[in-house]
Structure 1
Amino acid sequence: MPRSRFAGSLSSPKIDVVIDMGNPFLNHTVDGFLKIGAVAATKVAAEETYHCIRKGNVSKNNLEHSLKKMCQEGAYWGAVAGVYVGSEYGIERIRGTRDWKNAMLGGALTGALVSAASNNDKNKIIMDAITGGAVATAAEFINYLT
Protein backbone atom coordinates (compact mmCIF):
# COMPACT_ATOMS: atom_id res chain seq x y z
CA MET A 1 0.00 0.00 0.00
CA PRO A 2 1.47 3.38 -0.99
CA ARG A 3 2.28 5.78 1.76
CA SER A 4 2.83 9.49 1.65
CA ARG A 5 4.38 11.72 4.21
CA PHE A 6 4.50 15.43 4.79
CA ALA A 7 7.61 16.87 6.31
CA GLY A 8 8.48 20.46 6.87
CA SER A 9 7.54 23.35 9.02
CA LEU A 10 5.13 26.19 8.81
CA SER A 11 5.97 29.59 10.13
CA SER A 12 4.31 32.91 9.95
CA PRO A 13 6.14 36.04 8.94
CA LYS A 14 7.43 38.00 11.88
CA ILE A 15 6.87 41.71 11.95
CA ASP A 16 8.52 43.60 14.74
CA VAL A 17 7.98 47.29 15.32
CA VAL A 18 10.20 48.86 17.91
CA ILE A 19 9.37 52.17 19.46
CA ASP A 20 11.99 53.32 21.93
CA MET A 21 10.30 55.20 24.75
CA GLY A 22 13.57 55.51 26.68
CA ASN A 23 12.45 53.07 29.38
CA PRO A 24 12.28 49.25 29.14
CA PHE A 25 8.98 49.14 31.06
CA LEU A 26 7.35 51.60 28.64
CA ASN A 27 8.90 49.81 25.66
CA HIS A 28 7.32 46.49 26.70
CA THR A 29 3.97 48.11 27.45
CA VAL A 30 3.75 49.98 24.14
CA ASP A 31 4.92 46.89 22.25
CA GLY A 32 2.14 44.79 23.80
CA PHE A 33 -0.42 47.50 23.08
CA LEU A 34 0.57 47.79 19.42
CA LYS A 35 0.81 44.06 18.69
CA ILE A 36 -2.43 42.95 20.32
CA GLY A 37 -4.26 46.12 19.26
CA ALA A 38 -3.32 45.38 15.64
CA VAL A 39 -4.53 41.79 16.00
CA ALA A 40 -7.87 42.94 17.42
CA ALA A 41 -8.33 45.53 14.68
CA THR A 42 -7.52 42.94 12.02
CA LYS A 43 -10.02 40.50 13.54
CA VAL A 44 -12.75 43.14 13.39
CA ALA A 45 -11.80 44.04 9.81
CA ALA A 46 -12.19 40.39 8.76
CA GLU A 47 -15.54 40.06 10.54
CA GLU A 48 -16.90 43.29 9.10
CA THR A 49 -15.75 42.33 5.59
CA TYR A 50 -17.60 39.03 5.94
CA HIS A 51 -20.78 40.82 7.08
CA CYS A 52 -20.62 43.29 4.17
CA ILE A 53 -20.13 40.47 1.66
CA ARG A 54 -22.94 38.45 3.21
CA LYS A 55 -25.33 41.42 3.11
CA GLY A 56 -24.23 42.31 -0.38
CA ASN A 57 -23.86 46.02 0.20
CA VAL A 58 -21.06 48.36 1.10
CA SER A 59 -21.94 51.88 2.06
CA LYS A 60 -20.20 54.83 3.62
CA ASN A 61 -22.14 54.17 6.84
CA ASN A 62 -20.96 50.54 6.93
CA LEU A 63 -17.38 51.61 6.33
CA GLU A 64 -17.50 54.26 9.06
CA HIS A 65 -19.07 51.78 11.48
CA SER A 66 -16.39 49.21 10.66
CA LEU A 67 -13.53 51.66 11.14
CA LYS A 68 -14.98 52.87 14.44
CA LYS A 69 -15.38 49.30 15.68
CA MET A 70 -11.81 48.46 14.59
CA CYS A 71 -10.43 51.40 16.55
CA GLN A 72 -12.50 50.60 19.65
CA GLU A 73 -11.57 46.93 19.73
CA GLY A 74 -7.93 47.65 18.91
CA ALA A 75 -7.68 50.23 21.66
CA TYR A 76 -9.47 48.04 24.22
CA TRP A 77 -7.47 44.86 23.62
CA GLY A 78 -4.27 46.85 23.13
CA ALA A 79 -4.80 48.52 26.51
CA VAL A 80 -5.47 45.17 28.20
CA ALA A 81 -2.33 43.70 26.61
CA GLY A 82 -0.28 46.75 27.55
CA VAL A 83 -1.38 46.47 31.18
CA TYR A 84 -0.60 42.75 31.22
CA VAL A 85 2.81 43.00 29.53
CA GLY A 86 3.79 45.99 31.66
CA SER A 87 2.69 44.39 34.91
CA GLU A 88 4.39 41.09 34.08
CA TYR A 89 7.61 42.91 33.23
CA GLY A 90 7.39 45.04 36.38
CA ILE A 91 6.81 41.97 38.55
CA GLU A 92 9.74 40.25 36.87
CA ARG A 93 11.98 43.21 37.67
CA ILE A 94 10.79 43.39 41.29
CA ARG A 95 11.14 39.64 41.91
CA GLY A 96 14.42 39.41 40.01
CA THR A 97 13.44 36.16 38.31
CA ARG A 98 11.63 35.11 35.16
CA ASP A 99 9.11 32.31 35.68
CA TRP A 100 5.43 31.37 35.43
CA LYS A 101 4.62 33.20 38.65
CA ASN A 102 5.16 36.55 36.92
CA ALA A 103 2.54 35.61 34.31
CA MET A 104 0.13 34.49 37.01
CA LEU A 105 0.51 37.69 39.04
CA GLY A 106 0.44 39.90 35.93
CA GLY A 107 -2.70 38.17 34.67
CA ALA A 108 -4.41 38.46 38.03
CA LEU A 109 -3.52 42.15 38.33
CA THR A 110 -4.69 42.82 34.78
CA GLY A 111 -7.95 40.93 35.30
CA ALA A 112 -8.65 42.86 38.49
CA LEU A 113 -7.80 46.26 36.97
CA VAL A 114 -9.86 45.74 33.82
CA SER A 115 -12.79 44.45 35.87
CA ALA A 116 -12.57 47.28 38.41
CA ALA A 117 -12.56 49.83 35.58
CA SER A 118 -15.80 48.41 34.17
CA ASN A 119 -17.82 47.52 37.29
CA ASN A 120 -17.93 47.87 41.08
CA ASP A 121 -18.93 44.35 42.10
CA LYS A 122 -16.13 43.07 44.37
CA ASN A 123 -16.93 39.41 43.73
CA LYS A 124 -16.76 39.98 39.95
CA ILE A 125 -13.40 41.73 40.33
CA ILE A 126 -12.02 38.81 42.33
CA MET A 127 -13.35 36.28 39.82
CA ASP A 128 -11.84 38.24 36.92
CA ALA A 129 -8.51 38.40 38.76
CA ILE A 130 -8.57 34.62 39.21
CA THR A 131 -9.51 34.13 35.55
CA GLY A 132 -6.77 36.49 34.36
CA GLY A 133 -4.17 34.72 36.46
CA ALA A 134 -5.32 31.29 35.30
CA VAL A 135 -5.36 32.22 31.60
CA ALA A 136 -1.94 33.88 31.78
CA THR A 137 -0.45 30.93 33.65
CA ALA A 138 -1.93 28.43 31.19
CA ALA A 139 -0.59 30.46 28.26
CA GLU A 140 2.85 30.55 29.89
CA PHE A 141 2.85 26.77 30.37
CA ILE A 142 1.65 26.16 26.80
CA ASN A 143 4.34 28.51 25.52
CA TYR A 144 6.91 26.59 27.53
CA LEU A 145 5.79 23.26 26.01
CA THR A 146 6.12 24.43 22.42
Structure 2
Amino acid sequence: MANRGPPNFITNGLQAAVLEWIRSLDLELVSILLARSWPLSILDSSEPRWRPTEVTDTDNVVRLDRRQRLLRWDRRPPNEIFLDGFVPIVTREYPDWEETDLYGFAKSNRPSFFVSTTKTQRNKKSMFGHLEVPTAV
Protein backbone atom coordinates (compact mmCIF):
# COMPACT_ATOMS: atom_id res chain seq x y z
CA MET A 1 0.00 0.00 0.00
CA ALA A 2 1.33 3.46 -0.89
CA ASN A 3 2.23 5.94 1.82
CA ARG A 4 -0.78 8.27 1.79
CA GLY A 5 -0.04 10.30 4.91
CA PRO A 6 2.14 13.31 5.52
CA PRO A 7 5.84 12.75 6.13
CA ASN A 8 7.16 12.31 9.67
CA PHE A 9 3.69 12.19 11.24
CA ILE A 10 3.13 15.92 10.86
CA THR A 11 -0.37 16.52 12.16
CA ASN A 12 -0.96 20.21 11.75
CA GLY A 13 -1.31 22.80 9.03
CA LEU A 14 -0.56 22.36 5.36
CA GLN A 15 2.12 19.76 5.91
CA ALA A 16 -0.54 17.38 7.31
CA ALA A 17 -2.49 17.28 4.04
CA VAL A 18 -3.00 13.93 2.37
CA LEU A 19 -2.63 15.43 -1.11
CA GLU A 20 0.89 16.37 -2.20
CA TRP A 21 -0.20 19.48 -4.11
CA ILE A 22 -1.78 20.90 -0.93
CA ARG A 23 1.31 20.04 1.17
CA SER A 24 3.51 21.96 -1.26
CA LEU A 25 1.44 25.17 -1.24
CA ASP A 26 2.92 28.31 0.29
CA LEU A 27 1.39 29.13 3.70
CA GLU A 28 0.73 32.76 2.70
CA LEU A 29 -1.19 31.64 -0.39
CA VAL A 30 -3.37 29.32 1.69
CA SER A 31 -4.01 32.05 4.27
CA ILE A 32 -5.25 34.32 1.48
CA LEU A 33 -7.35 31.49 0.06
CA LEU A 34 -8.99 30.86 3.44
CA ALA A 35 -9.47 34.54 4.32
CA ARG A 36 -11.16 35.39 1.02
CA SER A 37 -14.13 33.22 1.97
CA TRP A 38 -14.29 34.37 5.60
CA PRO A 39 -17.52 36.39 6.10
CA LEU A 40 -16.97 40.12 6.65
CA SER A 41 -19.27 39.96 9.68
CA ILE A 42 -16.73 37.86 11.62
CA LEU A 43 -13.47 38.91 9.94
CA ASP A 44 -12.83 41.64 12.53
CA SER A 45 -13.13 39.26 15.47
CA SER A 46 -11.94 35.94 14.04
CA GLU A 47 -9.53 34.53 11.51
CA PRO A 48 -8.52 31.10 10.24
CA ARG A 49 -5.69 29.66 12.31
CA TRP A 50 -3.96 26.31 12.75
CA ARG A 51 -4.61 24.40 15.93
CA PRO A 52 -1.71 24.35 18.39
CA THR A 53 0.67 21.39 18.47
CA GLU A 54 0.07 21.10 22.22
CA VAL A 55 -3.52 21.00 23.40
CA THR A 56 -5.07 21.10 26.87
CA ASP A 57 -7.89 18.59 27.15
CA THR A 58 -11.02 19.07 29.25
CA ASP A 59 -9.30 17.21 32.11
CA ASN A 60 -6.55 19.91 32.04
CA VAL A 61 -3.88 17.49 30.79
CA VAL A 62 -1.56 18.94 28.14
CA ARG A 63 -1.03 16.54 25.24
CA LEU A 64 0.70 16.69 21.89
CA ASP A 65 -1.83 17.00 19.07
CA ARG A 66 -0.76 13.54 17.82
CA ARG A 67 -1.95 12.03 21.10
CA GLN A 68 -5.45 13.35 20.74
CA ARG A 69 -8.10 11.56 18.74
CA LEU A 70 -9.64 13.51 15.90
CA LEU A 71 -13.20 12.79 14.93
CA ARG A 72 -14.11 13.18 11.28
CA TRP A 73 -17.59 13.62 9.94
CA ASP A 74 -17.73 11.85 6.63
CA ARG A 75 -20.44 10.12 4.61
CA ARG A 76 -18.09 7.64 2.93
CA PRO A 77 -18.27 3.98 4.01
CA PRO A 78 -15.56 2.62 6.35
CA ASN A 79 -14.05 0.37 3.65
CA GLU A 80 -13.35 3.40 1.46
CA ILE A 81 -11.79 5.30 4.38
CA PHE A 82 -9.60 2.31 5.33
CA LEU A 83 -8.47 1.96 1.71
CA ASP A 84 -7.84 5.62 0.80
CA GLY A 85 -7.72 7.48 4.12
CA PHE A 86 -9.57 10.75 4.64
CA VAL A 87 -8.82 12.13 1.20
CA PRO A 88 -10.87 15.26 0.47
CA ILE A 89 -13.92 14.78 -1.76
CA VAL A 90 -12.45 17.35 -4.19
CA THR A 91 -8.87 16.46 -5.15
CA ARG A 92 -8.28 18.49 -8.33
CA GLU A 93 -5.24 20.73 -8.23
CA TYR A 94 -7.33 23.67 -9.50
CA PRO A 95 -10.61 23.56 -7.53
CA ASP A 96 -13.28 26.18 -8.19
CA TRP A 97 -14.34 28.96 -5.79
CA GLU A 98 -17.06 27.00 -3.94
CA GLU A 99 -14.73 24.04 -3.39
CA THR A 100 -12.21 26.28 -1.56
CA ASP A 101 -14.73 28.13 0.63
CA LEU A 102 -13.87 26.96 4.16
CA TYR A 103 -16.68 28.87 5.84
CA GLY A 104 -19.25 27.50 3.38
CA PHE A 105 -17.89 23.99 3.87
CA ALA A 106 -18.22 24.31 7.65
CA LYS A 107 -21.79 25.60 7.37
CA SER A 108 -23.17 23.19 4.76
CA ASN A 109 -20.65 20.34 4.29
CA ARG A 110 -20.73 20.73 0.51
CA PRO A 111 -18.03 18.97 -1.57
CA SER A 112 -14.71 20.64 -0.87
CA PHE A 113 -10.97 20.10 -0.68
CA PHE A 114 -11.23 20.40 3.13
CA VAL A 115 -11.68 17.47 5.51
CA SER A 116 -13.71 18.10 8.66
CA THR A 117 -12.09 17.26 12.01
CA THR A 118 -12.75 17.98 15.65
CA LYS A 119 -10.99 16.90 18.82
CA THR A 120 -12.67 14.69 21.40
CA GLN A 121 -13.58 16.01 24.80
CA ARG A 122 -12.08 13.73 27.39
CA ASN A 123 -12.89 13.69 31.04
CA LYS A 124 -12.06 11.20 33.78
CA LYS A 125 -15.66 10.08 34.37
CA SER A 126 -16.87 9.15 30.92
CA MET A 127 -15.94 8.57 27.31
CA PHE A 128 -18.28 9.30 24.45
CA GLY A 129 -17.50 6.67 21.86
CA HIS A 130 -14.42 5.19 20.45
CA LEU A 131 -13.44 3.62 17.16
CA GLU A 132 -10.24 1.60 17.00
CA VAL A 133 -8.78 1.75 13.50
CA PRO A 134 -6.19 -0.84 12.50
CA THR A 135 -2.88 0.56 11.32
CA ALA A 136 -2.62 -2.01 8.54
CA VAL A 137 -5.32 -3.74 6.54
TM range (shorter): under 0.3
Which structure has the bigger radius of gyration? 1
Higher helix share: 1
Higher strand share: 2
**Higher relative contact order (CA closer than 8 Å, sequence separation 6+):** 2
The normalised TM-score by structure 1 is 0.23
The normalised TM-score by structure 2 is 0.24
